[in-house]
Amino acid sequence: MKKRTIWIWIIVVAAVGLWAGQAFLTFYRDSAEFVVSGIVEADDIHVGSKVGGRVLRVVAREGQMVKGNDPLVVLEPNEINASFAEAQAMLRQAEARLSELMAGYRTEEIDQAEASMKQFQAELDQLLAGPRPQEMEQARAEWLAAKAQHENAQRFQQRMKDLVGRQLVAQQEYDDAMAKAEEFEQKTKSAKERYDLLLAGTRKEEIARAQQRLAEAAAKLRQLRGGYRKEEIAQARAGAEMARARVQLLKTRLEETVVRSPVDALVEVLDLQPGDLVEPGKPVATLIRTGQLWVRAYLSEDRLGQVQPGLKVKVRVDSFPGRTFAGAVRRLHRRAEFTPRNVQTREERVLQVFQTDIDVEDPEGVLRPGMNADVTISKRK
């Protein structure tokens, strides 16, 4: 009888305990807030150079706090500096050529072309008009005068020949008279040919050549007055833009010889010495972004409806047990997973959870990545 009574009491106590546990669990879940555990995290930043090269100077050191845009590593810039100077010179040349084409031809060139055209026009007019009567009379007079001189020289030569035959004058005097006669003979022929040409008038071939010279001069003048062609200007402008783009490219490559911190951060890894070779695009340092810490926590499935991005939370860490840090839910991951073994939560490890990222305000910079954190979340109303 006593044993039966004992077993009855044991069953009653167990039932009451089960009811109390369920009541406590219900009260806990329905309370105004609940707590999830997580770990303080910081974003890693891997910085490097797009161009690579030989290390000239290592500015920062591991464990050092750096500001945004602070230099970390400086690479040798000599080759890029030379290419940059060459590109700048080519840009100045291209811009000067474009300015020349835009301004057009110089006034002096146009005036010279106009003068040449007038000269060729005058020559053509002269050829078309033919010789003037005065010129023809003068040419006839010159021919007759040369003819008379030639005849006189021939008679004088004949007298010298007779005197030489009688040995009254020296042979040299006869030779001089003969040379003089031949000279006047040539002058007479030249004067006669010039007179005949004037009588015949200007040849068609000469007029055609003069017309061609005039047409070329007129085309040259039109070209100078019209300026350079649009195609030439467009080509020069494209050349200037290409040169300007190359200068900008090399300027960017030159800036890449100094590896800088993109944000305020802690230098975690920087293992370089002057003289080391750095490959393009490979990280040379690892930074920890301490200014924007966050907590990686895991939320059970039955709590999803109580949390949304932007919800304000409270964060506590073991290092500062009496202190609370303000935070806000940044993101709820879409895919469920099992709770990682290194995260201690209040729920069973076998339950599926959703990773939740929570931004933490740490104006004094006392938090450190890797700290265990408890996040108190108030239910969303």
Q: What is the mean pLDDT of residues 376-380?
A: 77
Q: What is the mean pLDDT of residues 342-354?
A: 58
Task: Flag whether pLDDT at 223 surpasses 80.
Answer: no
Task: Flag whether pLDDT at 209 surpasses 60.
Answer: yes
In a domain, 87, yes or no: no
Task: Flag whether pLDDT at 31 surpasses 70.
Answer: no
- Cβ density class 276-291: b for 16+ within 10 Å, e for less: eebeeeebbbbbbbbe
Q: What is d(CA 143, CA 191) in angstroms, rounded to the nearest whole number? A: 5
Q: What is the mean pLDDT of residues 118-122?
A: 85
3-state SS, residue 130: coil
327, with CB counted inside 10 A (0-12, 13-18, 19+), is buried
Q: What is the pLDDT of residue 253?
A: 94
124 and 283 in contact (C-beta within 8 Å)?
Answer: no
In a domain, 369, yes or no: yes
pLDDT in tens, 271-297: 999 999 999 999 999 998 877 888 999
**Residues in the chain, how many?**
381
Q: What is the mean pLDDT of residues 100-126?
A: 83
Select the highest-mean-pLDDT range: 205-209, 271-275, 297-301. 271-275
β-strand pairing of 33-48 with 53-58:
unpaired
In a domain, 362, yes or no: yes
In DSSP terms, which residues pair with 210 in a beta bridge? Answer: none
Sign of CA dihedral 121, 127, 131, 132: negative
Task: Flag whether pLDDT at 23 surpasses 60.
Answer: no
**Of 21-35, 81-95, 301-315, the least confident:** 21-35
Q: How many domains does the chain have?
A: 1
**Bigger pLDDT: 380 vs 92:** 92
How many CB atoms within 10 Å of residue 112? Answer: 14
In a domain, 23, yes or no: no
The domain of 351 spans 32-44+285-378
**Of 26-35, 150-159, 205-214, 367-376, the least confident:** 26-35
In a domain, 18, yes or no: no
Tokens standing for residue 134: 């005065």
CA distances to 75, 272, 284 from 277, in Å: 9, 9, 10
Q: What is the pLDDT of residue 42?
A: 87
Q: What is d(CA 149, CA 192) in angstroms, rounded to the nearest whole number? A: 13
pLDDT in tens, 37-88: 899 988 889 999 999 999 999 999 998 999 999 999 999 999 999 999 999 9
In a domain, 331, yes or no: yes
Task: Flag whether pLDDT at 345 surpasses 70.
Answer: no
Q: What is d(CA 68, CA 369) in angstroms, rounded to the nearest whole number? A: 20
Q: What is the mean pLDDT of residues 231-240?
A: 92
Task: Flag whether pLDDT at 380 surpasses 60.
Answer: no
Nearest residue to 324 via CA among 362, 290, 359? 362
3-state SS, residue 302: helix
Q: What is the pLDDT of residue 350?
A: 46
List the CATH number of the domain containing 370: 2.40.30.170
How many CB atoms within 10 Å of residue 211? Answer: 14
Give 153-217 as a 3 state SS string.
HHHHHHHHHHHHHCCCCCHHHHHHHHHHHHHHHHHHHHHHHHHHHHHHCCCHHHHHHHHHHHHHH
Residue percentage of the chain with pLDDT more than 70: 83
In a domain, 186, yes or no: no
On average, the pLDDT of the chain sits at: 82
Q: Which residue has the tokens 């305990």?
A: 17
In a domain, 70, yes or no: no
**Bigger pLDDT: 18 vs 36:** 36
Q: What is d(CA 327, CA 369) in angstroms, rounded to the nearest whole number? A: 15
270 and 58 in contact (C-beta within 8 Å)?
Answer: yes
Task: Flag whether pLDDT at 353 surpasses 90.
Answer: no
Q: What is the pLDDT of residue 349?
A: 45
